[in-house]
């Protein structure tokens, strides 16, 4: 069964450093998403991406964040100048349609900012 | 007031018991109500969803929505140890609108 993959599974970084979280969506999917989940808290939508541009973003997704689809398979989330409060699980998801009921989630990357 | 509230648990029950998981919400505009299951170190997986009010059944799982009370439930019959996971509710105003999530309830089924 096709699945969304994410690397690395765990990233540790120093405050102020830049990190890039990587995702490989399911190959025939057209819509891509990033979510985050701070430990013990709810899942929060960050951004959706379609046709090589951001289609929707939340208030959390400020200038510190950027997304890119650098080639035909990867989808990346870059966090510049990381802060302690960026520590969270980051989930990538992809879907065929722009509908939440067709989204498949990856296993997540745990980001720890020290 | 939080938009979606969910008791984090953990909820521990013996195998074979009926499990009841619940969420309350404040926004009366929500139309779609979803339940996700999340195993440890995995992403959320959509279990089932309901549109507007009413019940929906899928095997051992039943989802209920009471819009008048702004309350949704997920029932699991004949619970199995493999059902042990975190269950998240989520809601949306539209089929392609952003999801608003609950914090999740950790469920433990004891053999």
Structure tokens at B10: 């953990």
Give counts: helices (H), strands (E), chain A.
Answer: 0, 11
Q: How confident is the model at residue B96 (pLDDT cuts 50, 70, 90)?
A: low
Handedness of CA B63, A105, B95, A102 (dihedral sign): negative
CA dist A38 and A43 (Å) reads 8
Q: Does B79 touch chain A (CB under 8 A)?
A: no
Q: Does the distance separating the beta carbons of B92 and A100 come in below 8 Å?
A: yes
Give counts: helices (H), strands (E), chain B.
Answer: 0, 11
Q: Does A51 touch chain B (CB under 8 A)?
A: no
Q: Residue B32's closest CA among B103, B96, B106, B105?
A: B96
CA dist A75 and A29 (Å) reads 12
- For B50-63, how does the pLDDT look when each residue is reduced to its tens digit (9 = 90+)? 988 889 999 999 99
CA dist B79 and B30 (Å) reads 29
Structure tokens at B42: 């995995």
Average pLDDT over residues B20-43: 93
> Is residue B35 classed as helix, strand or coil in its secondary structure?
strand
Answer yes or no: is pLDDT of B1 > 70: no
DSSP assignment of B63-82 equals EEEETTTTEEEEEESS--GG
Average pLDDT over residues B53-79: 94
Q: Does B44 touch chain A (CB under 8 A)?
A: yes
pLDDT more than 70, % of chain A: 100
Of A15-24, A86-95, B49-58, B101-110, minimum mean pLDDT range: B49-58
Q: What pLDDT is stored for residue A4 in this prediction?
A: 95
> Which residues of chain A are within 8 Å of residue B3 when distances are taken between CB atoms?
none
Answer yes or no: is pLDDT of B107 > 70: yes
């Amino acid at each position: 069964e096709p699945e969304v993959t994410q690397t690395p599974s765990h990233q540790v970084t120093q405050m102020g450093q830049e990190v890039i979280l990587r995702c490989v969506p399911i190959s025939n999917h057209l819509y891509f998403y990033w979510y985050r989940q701070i430990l013990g808290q709810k899942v929060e939508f960050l951004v959706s991406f379609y046709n090589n541009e951001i289609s929707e973003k939340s208030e959390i997704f400020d200038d510190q964040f950027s997304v890119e689809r650098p080639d035909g398979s990867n989808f990346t989330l870059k966090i510049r100048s990381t802060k302690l409060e960026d520590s969270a699980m980051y989930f990538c998801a992809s879907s065929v349609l722009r509908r939440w009921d067709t989204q498949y989630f990856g296993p997540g990357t745990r980001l720890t900012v020290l | 007031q939080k938009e979606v509230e969910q008791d984090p648990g953990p909820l521990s029950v013996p195998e074979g018991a009926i499990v009841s998981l619940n969420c309350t919400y404040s926004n009366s505009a929500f139309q779609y109500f979803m339940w996700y299951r999340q195993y440890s170190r995995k992403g959320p997986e959509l279990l089932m969803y309901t549109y507007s009010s009413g019940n929906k059944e899928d095997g051992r799982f039943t989802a209920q929505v009471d819009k008048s009370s702004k309350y949704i439930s997920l029932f699991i019959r004949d619970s199995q140890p493999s059902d042990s996971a975190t269950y998240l509710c989520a809601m949306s105003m539209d089929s392609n609108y952003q999801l608003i999530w609950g914090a999740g309830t950790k469920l433990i089924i004891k053999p």
